[in-house]
Chains A and B, each alone.
Chain A
Amino acid sequence: MRKRFAAAMMAAMMAVGALSGCGGSQKTSHTQAAGTAQEGTEAETTETESESPKESVELIVFAAASMTETLTEIAKMYKEVRPEVEIVYTFDSSGTLKTQIQEGADCDIFISAAQKQMNQLDMAADPSVNTEGLDFVLEGSRLNLVENKVVLAVPQDNPAGISSYEDLGTDKLNLICLGNDDVPVGAYSIEILESLGILEQLERDAKITYGSNVKEVTTQVKEASVDCGIIYATDAFSAGLTVVDQADEDQCGQVIYPAAVLNISKHQEEAQAFLDYLTTADCAAVFESVGFSMAK
C-alpha cells in the first residue's frame, strides 16, 4: 500500500514539475524573445570585434513583418557594398517591435509599417500620439521609405467566391482573418470595414479571427483556414495568393513605411549609411519587384 501511494505521488509530482516548467518558459519566451536575441548577437559582436583587426559592425534592424523577403534580399546585396557590416533582422508586427524597443531591446534601425508606431517613439511627434513621451528616434534620420497597398486576399481557387470588400457584408463570408488593432494592417482593415459600415455586424456574427501579425494572417489564408484575409499587396505577392480587391486611399489612407535610426544605437553612422542605401535605385528595384512603391 505504502509503495503504491509513493509511486502515485511521485508520478503526480513529476507531472506538476513538468507543468509549471512549461508555463514558466512560455511566459518568458513571449516577453524576452527579443532580449535573448540581442544578448546572443551582442556576444557575437564582441567576439568578431576581437578577432578581426578590420572593424566589423553588427547592425540590428527591427522591421515590419511584411518586409521580410525584400530586406533579407537587400542584406545580401549590402554584403557586397559594405562587407564589414553585418545586418541582423528581427521581423515582427510593428506594434510588437515598438514595445520591444520601449522595453530596452538593442536596436539600431526601426522600420515600421505605419506612422503610428514610429510616432510613439519620436519626441518630435505630437504628444497626443507619443503619449508616453518616448524619445528613441535619432533627430533628422527619419524618412518615409516605401508605400504599400492593403488588399483582400483569398486562398487558391477562392472556395467562398469572395470578389470584393463589399462581399464581406454578405452570406458568402464565414470567416475572415485580420490583424488585431495593434498590428498596422489590422488597424487599416478596421478602417476599411468601418468605411463600409460592416465591422460591427461581422464582430456580432463572430466572423473575424485575429492574427498577431501580417504573416500569421497570410498563412491562415494560404492554408484556407479562413475564407479571406486583409493583408498587404506585398505579402499576397510573396505567398502567391490571389488578390481580389484593393483598398483606395480614402478607405484607409496611404500606407507609408517610415524608417529611422534610433538614438540608442551604438553605430549611428553605419546605421545612417544603411538607411541611405535603402533609398538607392538598387533597393528600389527590390522593393518594387514585390509590389512596394517608393514613398515620395
Chain B
Amino acid sequence: MDWYPLYNSLRIALISSVIVFFTGIFAAYYIARLNRVVKGILDVILTLPMVLPPTVVGYFLLLLLGARRPVGMWFQEQFGIKLVMTWYSGIFASAVVAFPLMYRTARGAFESFDETLAYSGQTLGLSNTYIFWRIRMPACRQGILAGAVLSFARALGEYGATSMLAGYTPGKTATISTTVYQLWRTDNEALAFQWVVINVMISAVVLLTVNMLERKNRKEGR
C-alpha cells in the first residue's frame, strides 16, 4: 500500500494548523478590542469559510491563486513557483477552511478571560507581551488547545477546496480524502475502505484528545 496520501495529509494538516494557530489567536485577540460595528463585519468575514461549502472557498482561492490570476501570476513572475496543483496548494485550502474554528474558539476563550488579571499585571509594571504570553494564554489554554485540535481535524478532512486547488496527482498532491474519492470513483472499493478506516481512526483520536482536554479542564474548574 502506498502511504503517500497519509504523509501528505498529515503534513498539510500540521502546517496549516500551525499557521491557523497563530493567525487565529492574533485575529481573536485584536478583533475582540475593536468597536462593535467593525468587529461584527470582520467576524462575519472571518467565520464565512466555516459555513460556506468548501467548493465555494476553492472557487475564490482559484480566482486569486490560479496560474492566470493576480496573486498566482505575481508569484510565478517573482519566484517562478506555481501556487496551484502542487502539494502545498492543499495548505492554502485547509488553512482557510480551518481558520474560523481556531479564531472562534480562541475568541470565546479570550472573552471569558478575567481582565482584572491583565490590569493587575500592568500595575506591577509587566509588559503587554509578557501579560499576553504568561498570563492570558495560560489562563485560556484549554479553549485554545481545543481550537487547535479541532482546526487540525478539519484541515485533515478538507476535500472540496483541496481537490480544486491541488487536483489529484498520485504521489504528489493526493491526500487521504481525495484518494478515497478517486478510489471510489474507479471502483476500487477495498482500498477505499482501508483509507476510510485510517481516516476514521485518526479523527477518533483527535476527538478523544478534545474530550480529555475538557475533562482535565473540568477537574481544574473544581
Q: Which residues of A contact B (CB under 8 A)?
A: 1-5, 7-12, 14-16, 18-19, 22-23, 26, 30, 95-96, 155, 175, 177, 180-182, 203, 206-212, 220, 223-226
18 CB-based A-B contacts, threshold 8 Å: A2-B221, A2-B222, A4-B221, A5-B218, A5-B220, A5-B221, A7-B108, A8-B140, A11-B107, A12-B150, A26-B54, A26-B159, A181-B186, A203-B170, A223-B67, A223-B68, A223-B84, A224-B67
Contact indicator B217/A15 (Cβ below 8 Å): no
- Report the count of interface residues on B (CB-CB < 8 A): 52
Contact indicator B112/A4 (Cβ below 8 Å): yes
* CB-based nearest B residue for A211: B167
Contact indicator B169/A175 (Cβ below 8 Å): yes
Contact indicator A225/B84 (Cβ below 8 Å): yes
Which of A5, A16, A225 interacts with B85 by CB under 8 Å? A225
Residues of A within 8 A of B171 (CB): 203, 206
Q: Could you tell me the distance between the alpha carbons of A175 and B167 in the complex, rounded to whole angstroms? A: 11
Residues of B within 8 A of A10 (CB): 108
Most chain A beta-carbon contacts within 10 A, residue among B84, B85, B104, B210: B85
* CB-based nearest B residue for A226: B85
Contact indicator A182/B185 (Cβ below 8 Å): yes
Q: DSSP class of B's interface residues: helix, strand, loop or mixed? A: helix
CB distance from A163 to the nearest CB of B (A): 20
Q: Could you tell me the distance between the alpha carbons of A181 and B183 in the complex, rounded to whole angstroms? A: 10
Contact indicator A11/B104 (Cβ below 8 Å): yes
Q: Which of B29-37, B38-46, B124-132, B141-149 interfaces with chain A?
A: B141-149
Q: Could you tell me the distance between the alpha carbons of A225 and B85 in the complex, rounded to whole angstroms? A: 6
Q: DSSP class of A's interface residues: helix, strand, loop or mixed? A: helix
Residues of B within 8 A of A226 (CB): 85, 167
Q: Which residues of B contact A (CB under 8 A)?
A: 50-51, 54, 62, 66-68, 82, 84-85, 101, 104-105, 107-109, 111-114, 139-140, 142-143, 146-147, 150, 153-154, 157, 159-160, 167-173, 181-182, 185-187, 207, 210, 214, 217-218, 220-222
Residues of B within 8 A of A3 (CB): 112
* CB-based nearest A residue for B112: A7
Evaluate whether A4 and B113 lie within 8 angstroms (CB atoms) in the complex, with A11-B104, A26-B159, A212-B185 already known: yes
Contact indicator A8/B67 (Cβ below 8 Å): no
Contact indicator B169/A210 (Cβ below 8 Å): yes
Evaluate whether A224 and B150 lie within 8 angstroms (CB atoms) in the complex, with A5-B221, A11-B109, A211-B167 already known: no
Residues of B within 8 A of A225 (CB): 66-67, 82, 84-85, 167
CB distance from B85 to the nearest CB of A (A): 5
Contact indicator A7/B207 (Cβ below 8 Å): no
Residues of B within 8 A of A9 (CB): 146, 214, 217
Evaluate whether A8 and B167 lie within 8 angstroms (CB atoms) in the complex, with A2-B221, A209-B173, A223-B62 already known: no
